[in-house]
Amino acid sequence: MSDTLTPDVIGRRVEVNGEHATVRFAGVVPPVAGPWLGVEWDNPERGKHDGSHEGTVYFKCSQLSKLQEVSLRNCAVSCAGEKGGVAEACPNIRRVDLSKNLLSSWDEVIHIADQLRHLEVLNLSENKLKFPSGSALTGTFSALKVLVLNQTGITWAEVLRCAAWCPGLEELYLESNNIVISERPTDVLQTVKLLDLSSNQLIDENQLYLIAHLPRLEQLILSDVGISSIHFPDAGIGCKTSMFPSLQYLVVNDNQISQWSFFNELDKLPSLRALSCLRNPLTKEDKEANTTRQLIIASIGQLKTLNKCEILPKERRTAELDYRKAFGNEWKQAGGHQDPDKNRLSEEFLRAHPRYQFLCLSTCVYAGGLQGADFPLEQSVPLEYGAPEDWELKTQQPFMLKNQLLTLKIKYPDQLDQKVLEKQLPGSMTIQKVKGWLSRLLKVPVSDLLLSYESPKEPGIEIKLENDLQSLRFYSVENEDCLLVRW
């Protein structure tokens, strides 16, 4: 061996008596004379040492046998390599990213998977994989839970064929494949909890019916598929559909949704709790974004999260009360009446506002449905809204929540020398901005101000305005209410 070693020797591959290794150290190892190379053997049983000598650690081996996650994205991988080599070097791998490589056949994928019996997550995106024309492949992904096949050009028939190899699959990602759902899964995909079909522009409402009975599907991602409508023909007004029985989270961002009937239909999904519907014609962020959010909340009774923002009970109550008032005159003209026995709502109104009648009830809703009702309704909490009164409809203002002005009386309970002030404020104005205005008016630091309000309808009941980021509307502040200011 030469007395000197070049700096670039580290990382080089070497062969010794037919065994392969990687150079991890080059230098002196006192008290032994001369330069030495420390190598990490491909065969974990080959080495005699652990990279240390007489208590000094010179290098550490990566211990490939303990490796559980590997990313080989865009590394020109084209085959499984030497038979059994993967299993021998890395038998405990659980997550593999093989995206954007040169794999051309599912045979090679199976050869890799056959050696990784603990494999749970496999990403094959951006590989163009050919299915064999003959008999089915014998390999099976017995432990696989997550399979990512984005931009692979796979067809729906091939998806079902591939799914047969994954008996415990829970998450399947199929983005940007021009997929057409051509048949209903029968013996496959029955364990799938998440299905991503984003950017498959050929999918339409009728195709969704073919996957509507997957028993465990909890999350469905349909972003950028061009969908504009959805309908559950098995469920009438106020009823729940048998389709998508376990669906809790639906994503329909970047689509063509422009009709409120879309959200009315979503209220029929029995398990839906979260919805994301950003960047649609009906939900684009504009000056009425807050109004749109409230209408969606009022339309889907069981929703807990909208566009990744939690729906607090107070926000739901405000949204439903405003919805009830906004369409009160239309309800009355369509045959609505405060006396349930005289209530004769038109079919047209019920189709346009299927939850309105529910919001007008003044009773309790339990898990088994509405007491005394002849149609099923969602689980909820006791409601006390009741039908809108005539005085509410007469004083109703246009449903422009963000721009609506509230006429408020401003009082100072602890400052008797201050005169009562009457002021118009936007319902969308946050408590923080109200405090800022009052601070300038009263010459009092914002941090010293405490706000609450009371309504002439409920004298003596004072409601604190504690969250500076919420609006007056959030707290159900209405015209003629009294804003109480303390410092």
Q: Strand order in 95-97's β-sheet?
A: 69-71, 95-97, 121-123, 146-148, 171-173, 194-196, 219-221, 249-251, 274-276, 305-306, 309-310
Q: What does the pLDDT read at residue 28?
A: 85
Interval 321-335: pLDDT, tens: 889 988 999 999 999
Q: CA 326, CA 400: separation in Å to the nearest integer?
A: 9
Question: pLDDT-based confidence at 288, cuts 50/70/90?
Answer: low
Q: Report whether pLDDT(374) > 70.
A: no
What's the whole-model pTM score?
0.70
Question: pLDDT-based confidence at 369, cuts 50/70/90?
Answer: very low
Q: What does the pLDDT read at residue 51?
A: 80
For the chain, percent of residues with pLDDT exceeding 70: 88
Q: CA 175, CA 404: separation in Å to the nearest integer?
A: 42
Residues 6+ apart with CB under 8 A from 317: 476
Class of domain 7-62: mainly beta
Q: CA 168, CA 125: separation in Å to the nearest integer?
A: 20
The candidate with the shortest Cα–Cα distance to 434, out of 399, 398, 479, 477, is 477
Interval 119-165: pLDDT, tens: 999 999 999 999 876 555 555 788 999 999 999 999 999 999 999 99
Fold of 67-321: 3.80.10
Q: Report whether pLDDT(220) > 70.
A: yes
The secondary structure element, H or E, covering residue 41 is strand 32-41
- Six-digit token pair at 183? 């048949």
Helix, strand, coil fractions of the chain, as percent rounded to 5? 20, 20, 60
Residue spans of the domains in the chain: they are: 7-62, 67-321, 405-486
- Residue-averaged pLDDT of the chain: 86
Span 447-471, mean pLDDT? 88
Q: Report whether pLDDT(320) > 50.
A: yes
Q: What does the pLDDT read at residue 105?
A: 92
Q: Report whether pLDDT(382) > 60.
A: no
Q: What does the pLDDT read at residue 459?
A: 82
Interval 327-367: pLDDT, tens: 999 999 999 988 888 889 999 999 999 999 889 875 444 33
Q: What does the pLDDT read at residue 394?
A: 64
Q: CA 222, CA 200: separation in Å to the nearest integer?
A: 8
Q: CA 52, CA 46: separation in Å to the nearest integer?
A: 16
Q: Report whether pLDDT(285) > 70.
A: no
Strands (E), 42-105: 52-53, 56-57, 69-71, 95-97
User: What is the CATH number that goes with domain 405-486?
Assistant: 3.10.20.90
Phi, psi angles (nearest 5°) of residue 28: -90, 150
For the chain, percent of residues with pLDDT exceeding 90: 52
Interval 221-271: pLDDT, tens: 999 999 999 999 999 999 999 999 999 999 999 999 999 999 999 999 999
Q: What does the pLDDT read at residue 474?
A: 79
DSSP output for 426-441: ETT-BHHHHHHHHHHH
Q: Report whether pLDDT(286) > 60.
A: no
